Amino acid sequence: MKMHFVGLPHTETIHEYEWCAYTMKLLHMGQICKKIGYETVLYGSAHDEGDFGEVVEVVTEDERQKWFGHIDWNIEVFGGWDPETEWWRTMNLRAIDEIQQRIQPGDLICIIAGRCQEIIANAFPNNISIEWAVGYEGILSNTMHCFESEIWRHFLYGKYNINDGAFFDAVIPNSFDQQDFVRMPKEDYILYLGRLTPRKGLSIVEEIAKNHRVITAGQGDIRIPGAEHVGVIRGKTKAEYLAKARALICPTTYIEPFGGVAVEAQLSGTPVICTDFGAFTETVIHEATGFRCRNLREFQEAAKNVDYIDTDRVLQWARSNYTLDAVAPQWKRWYNQIETLYGSGWYSL
């Protein structure tokens, strides 16, 4: 079975775009598939990194510059999720053409953008299509789904009035390359790392900044009074900021599908202060790897008491559950299950 992965029009699958969680998940999936022995093709940019067996260019750098060259990714967040836009139409049609030249019976079509790539799934009715990175709401009805968290699976089942379970759907958490993270002596600051948008709980961050040193990093033009802003950080710089922080604060006020930065912090030995809903209920152990808070008083107490968290335990939890090596067997199990659907499926021995 060969797996045909389709990328995104606005990024290349390279570390430079690590502010895009889906781009990094795609890059890591190439590494995972190589670990578990699956042959892969990536349809994206000629410069894509990772361990995909073949990379097919379906968006040129000139086109990317034409469509997105005016955007300052240090400020703006990609909002072009309309499948009728020129970039999606162009990329999808080229991907279909290239896949048709390579597809074999029993191969998988692997899409990462739901409705924006629905035309690709529809173009290959004799092959199974999977949505393998579901942290978005626009899922399709003719695909198999892998959700980023149990919370998000059941949130979407409820949203779409799905009252019966789907046996071949799965939940597999995002995973990360441990080599991208370091441990360093702690410094006296609490880090906010993410999009600077009100629904990420910036009003709570502002309250914490009244009594603690807070550093903010990420996309957006909102500045929090009393906090230091360092912009978009990547690579070694990002790793060091995560490792040196007393804590990472993630006070997201919406239902977070996964919230990868909370895991990245824990992979750096840094506790997490977060809300007590969404995927944080799965990724953060209250009073063990951080604090899950239900009101402002609890956020303030967490900021005072976070130094009591055992950072070795934080790191052990994260490495046991969210590294590429830890999660790869879950992907192998799911891909093996999907592969049986070309045979007797449920009845496969």
Q: Are residues 156 and 188 part of one domain?
A: no
What is the number of domains present in the chain?
A: 2
Q: Are residues 329 and 317 part of one domain?
A: no
Residues of the chain with pLDDT > 70, as a percent, come to 100
Q: Are residues 11 and 129 part of one domain?
A: yes
Q: Are residues 213 and 115 part of one domain?
A: no
Q: Are residues 209 and 84 part of one domain?
A: no
**CATH number of the CATH domain containing 155:** 3.40.50.2000
Q: Are residues 168 and 33 part of one domain?
A: yes
pLDDT exceeds cutoff 90 at 49? no
Q: Are residues 61 and 88 part of one domain?
A: yes
Mean pLDDT over 198-208 rounds to 98
Q: Are residues 193 and 182 part of one domain?
A: yes
Mean pLDDT over 109-115 rounds to 97
Beta strand extents in 71-189 (DSSP E only): 108-111, 128-134, 144-147, 170-171
How much is the pTM? 0.96
Starting from the edge strand earliest in sequence, which strands make up the sheet with 128-134, in order? 54-57, 39-44, 2-6, 108-111, 128-134, 144-147, 170-171
Task: Report residue 277's pLDDT band, with 50, 70 and 90 as the boundaries.
Answer: very high
Could you list the residue range(s) of the whole structural domain that residue 216 is in?
A: 178-322
pLDDT exceeds cutoff 90 at 74? no
Mean pLDDT over 246-268 rounds to 98
pLDDT digits (tens, 9 = 90+) for 167-195: 999 999 999 999 999 999 999 999 999 99
The per-residue pLDDT of the chain, averaged, comes to 97
**pLDDT at residue number 172:** 98
CB 295, CB 280: distance < 8 Å:
no
Tell the residue number behind the tokens 């995560």, with chain if given: 242
- Give whole-number Cα distances, 84 to 91, 92, 93, 158, 317, in Å: 11, 10, 12, 27, 43
Q: Are residues 271 and 201 part of one domain?
A: yes
What DSSP assignment string belongs to 265-282? Answer: HHTTT--EEEESSTTHHH
**pLDDT at residue number 62:** 96
